[in-house]
Amino acid sequence: MLIIYNHMVVDYQHRNRTDEVFHALADATRRSIVERTLQRDYSVSELARLFPMSFAAVQKHVAVLERAELVTKRRQGREQCVRSNVVAIRRAQKQLERYEVLWRSRIERMNEILDEDS
Amino acid sequence: MPVTSVKKDPMTLTMTIVAEFDATIARVWKLWEDPRQLERWWGPPTYPATVTAYDFTPGGRVSYFMTGPGGDQPRGWWRFVAVESPHRIEFENGLADESGAPQPDMPAMVVRVSLGEATPGRTRMAVESVFPSSEAMERFLHMGMEEGMCAAIGQVDALI
C-alpha cells in the first residue's frame, strides 16, 4: 500500500477512506477475517465460532471491515454472509488505470507547452 | 516520455504519478499558476477546459467547465488547501452544478502536487490523487475524463 504522509496539512475529511482501511487492518481478528473471506464466504455465526468472542463482537469487527469496503455483507436466509470485497478492489484498480491514462496525457500536454519555450 | 513512475493503490484509491521535465521549477510552477496555461493541458483537445475563476492562494477557489464534442459542459471546482510557491500545491477537486456551486452529494477528491529539482534546470513533479470512493471516482472519470482517455488512446494509435 502506498501512502504519502509528507504533507502534514491534511484535510481529514478526505483521509477517511485511507484511515478506515488502516484502522480496519490494524486488528489481528479483522486481518484474520479478511484472510479467511479471501478463500470463501463465511457467515457471521461461523466467524463467531472461530474467534474467542461473542457474536456481537464479531459483528462489530465485520462492520468496521464493511465501512473500509474490505468486505461486503448480505443476507442469505437467516444468515449474514460475509464476502471479501475483491471485486470492488479489482474495480478500483481498473478505474485507477483509466485515471493513469488521463494523467499521462496531461503530462504529455504539459511537456509540449514547455517545449514551445525553447 | 516525461513520466518516470506511477503507483496505484486500489485499497486507498490513491495514485501517484511522477514526471520529469526539461524546465526549471519556476517554469513548471507557471503551468499551474497561470489559468490560461492550465486550460491548455488540463482537458484533452476533444474536451477542453475553460477556467472562469482562479484564485491561486490558500483557501482560494477555482471554477471551470469542460466542453465536450456534443456541446455538453460539465462543471467543476477546486479549493486550494496549500499554495507554497514554487514547491507545493494541494487542492480539493469536486463536481459542480449548472450554477457552478459544488454538487452537495458529491465528495471531493484531493490532489497534492510537489515540485523539486531533479538536476539543475530539470524539474521533478509528483502528483498524488486520492479519491473519496469508487462511486465518486466513476463520476470523475465520466466528466471529460473518459473522453480524455479515448483522445489519448487515439493519439497513441496515431503514433503507432
Q: What was the pLDDT predicted at A15? A: 55
* Contact between chains at A17 and B132 (C-beta distance less than 8 A): yes
Distance from CA of B99 to the nearest CA of A (A): 24
- Rounded Cα–Cα distance for residues A39 and A36 (Å): 5
For residue A25 the three cell numbers come to: 487492518
Compute the mean pLDDT over every residue in chain A, rounded to the nearest whole number: 83
- Rounded Cα–Cα distance for residues B113 and B126 (Å): 6
* Contact between chains at A11 and B134 (C-beta distance less than 8 A): no
DSSP chain B: --EEEEEEETTTTEEEEEEEESS-HHHHHHHHH-HHHHHHHHS-TTS-EEEEEE--STT-EEEEEE--TTS---EEEEEEEEEETTTEEEEEEEEE-TTSPBPTT-PPEEEEEEEEEEETTEEEEEEEEE-S-HHHHHHHIIIIIHHHHHHHHHHHHHH-
Compute the mean pLDDT over every residue in chain B, rounded to the nearest whole number: 89
Q: Which residue of A has its CA nearest to B11?
A: A89
Nearest Cβ partner of B110 from A11, A96, A117?
A11
- What pTM was estimated for this model as a whole? 0.74
**Chain A partners within 8 Å of B121 (Cβ):** none
Nearest Cβ partner of B6 from A1, A17, A100?
A100
More confident residue, A32 or B151: A32
Q: Among A96-100, B1-5, B96-100, B112-116, which range has the highest average pLDDT?
A: B112-116
* Contact between chains at B112 and A14 (C-beta distance less than 8 A): no
Q: What was the pLDDT predicted at A6? A: 37
- Rounded Cα–Cα distance for residues B130 and B35 (Å): 23
Mutate to test the interface with A, among B12, B25, B37, B140 (most CBs of A within 10 A): B12
Show the DSSP H helices in B6-57 as ranges.
25-33, 35-42
Nearest Cβ partner of B81 from A3, A9, A105?
A9
| Section A75-93 average pLDDT | 84
Q: What is the pLDDT of residues A42-61, one digit of tens each?
A: 999 999 999 999 999 999 99
* Contact between chains at B130 and A90 (C-beta distance less than 8 A): no
| Section B9-32 average pLDDT | 95
| Section A89-107 average pLDDT | 92
Q: What was the pLDDT predicted at B144? A: 60
* Contact between chains at A4 and B137 (C-beta distance less than 8 A): no
Whether A7 shows a pLDDT value over 50: the answer reads no
DSSP A64-85: HHHHTTSEEEEEETTEEEEEE-
The pLDDT-based confidence of A82 (bands split at 50, 70, 90) is: very high
Q: What is the pLDDT of residues B58-113, one digit of tens each?
A: 999 999 999 988 888 999 999 999 999 999 999 999 999 988 899 988 889 999 99
Q: What was the pLDDT predicted at B146? A: 53
